[in-house]
Amino acid sequence: MDFSTQPVLQVDNATIFQGVDPVLSNVSFSVEQHEFVFLIGQTGSGKSSLLKTLYADLALKSGKVDIAGFDLTKIKTSEIPFLRRKLGIIFQDFQLFNDRTVAENLDFVMKATGWKDKVKIKERMAEVLMLVGLNNASSKMPHQLSGGEQQRVVIARALLNEPSILLADEPTGNLDPSVADGIFKLFQEINKKGTAILMATHNHELLRKYPYRVLKCEDGKLLDSQTHDVSFGSSY
């Protein structure tokens, strides 16, 4: 079997819950390895809840999800760290340790995810910082970096373990438009190198400018621009 043709994410008839309340029902879609997909919808429509279910922060109680080779209906709590190693997870808030340098922030994640060889750690760190355009930032503290640079460090951190898919929840939400544009372009470069991207956004400008596939949370359902006429001209 050729695994490269398998979707990196396959959701079949899932219900997304917050506690006992269903937020989205009958959710079915898949994402291929090469795809860039926007996730949109009005505030409170379920974007974050869907992403949280995909990285097993919210339990999958109904339906089926296969992501990065993990079946979320069967995943054990002890396996969740291994799942997250195969996902890059990026939020609006940068969530760096502010009392540690960039290198120490990356080193923390690498040690926590099983990296031991000091030379390899150093090499991979340099690689991901180069990828995000921050070659000289390793000894800096987060507060010595701009918001856009901090988000680049977060992206570098998410790339450390070569994830098959990046899940990004409003990654440009806290940034000036021009800085946000640079971050978005970085996501595009990462995607072109073969990492799938599912990005929740409220940014109308991005949707107008880049005609990627759109998934839209609306009235408790998930609409897919591949199969539905998804409007994003008005409020979402």
Ligand X SMILES: Nc1ncnc2c1ncn2[C@@H]1O[C@H](COP(=O)(O)OP(=O)(O)OP(=O)(O)O)[C@@H](O)[C@H]1O
Instruction: Determine how many CB atoms are found less than 10 A away from the CB of residue 74.
Output: 10
Q: What CA–CA distance (Å, rounded) separates 213 from 143?
A: 36
Q: Which segment (5-13, 36-44, 95-103, 106-114) binds ligand X by CB under 6 A?
A: 36-44
Q: What CA–CA distance (Å, rounded) separates 11 from 220?
A: 16
| Nearest to ligand X of 27, 217 (CB atom) | 217
The three-class DSSP label of residue 207 is helix
CB of 167 to ligand X, least distance (A): 12
Among 9, 31, 45, 163, binds ligand X (CB under 6 A): 45
Q: Which segment (42-50, 75-83, 99-107, 160-168) binds ligand X by CB under 6 A?
A: 42-50
Q: Which segment (38-46, 109-117, 135-143, 178-186) binds ligand X by CB under 6 A?
A: 38-46
The three-class DSSP label of residue 79 is helix
b/e per residue, 103-117, with b = 16+ CB within 10 A? bebbbeebeeeebee
Contacts (Cβ under 8 Å, ≥6 apart) of 97: 104, 105, 108, 142
| Nearest to ligand X of 184, 236 (CB atom) | 236
Q: Which residue has tokens 């690689």?
A: 127
Among 4, 5, 20, 43, binds ligand X (CB under 6 A): 43
Q: Are 158 and 89 in contact (CB under 8 A)?
A: yes
Q: Which of residues 159-218 bind ligand X (CB under 6 A)?
A: 217
Among 8, 23, 168, 206, binds ligand X (CB under 6 A): 23
**How do beta strands 21-31 and 87-90 pair?**
unpaired
CA 88 to each of CA 54, 158, 230: distance values in angstroms, whole numbers, following the listed order? 11, 4, 27
| Nearest to ligand X of 46, 63 (CB atom) | 46
Residue 124 interacts with ligand X (CB under 6 A)?
no
Size of the site for ligand X (CB under 6 A): 12
Q: Which segment (43-51, 80-88, 105-113, 180-188) binds ligand X by CB under 6 A?
A: 43-51
CB of 218 to ligand X, least distance (A): 10
| Nearest to ligand X of 2, 219 (CB atom) | 219
**Angle, vertex CA 200, rays to CA 213 and CA 49, nearest 5:** 120
Q: Which segment (17-25, 96-104, 106-114, 203-211) binds ligand X by CB under 6 A?
A: 17-25
Residues that bind ligand X (CB under 6 A): 18-19, 23, 41, 43-49, 217
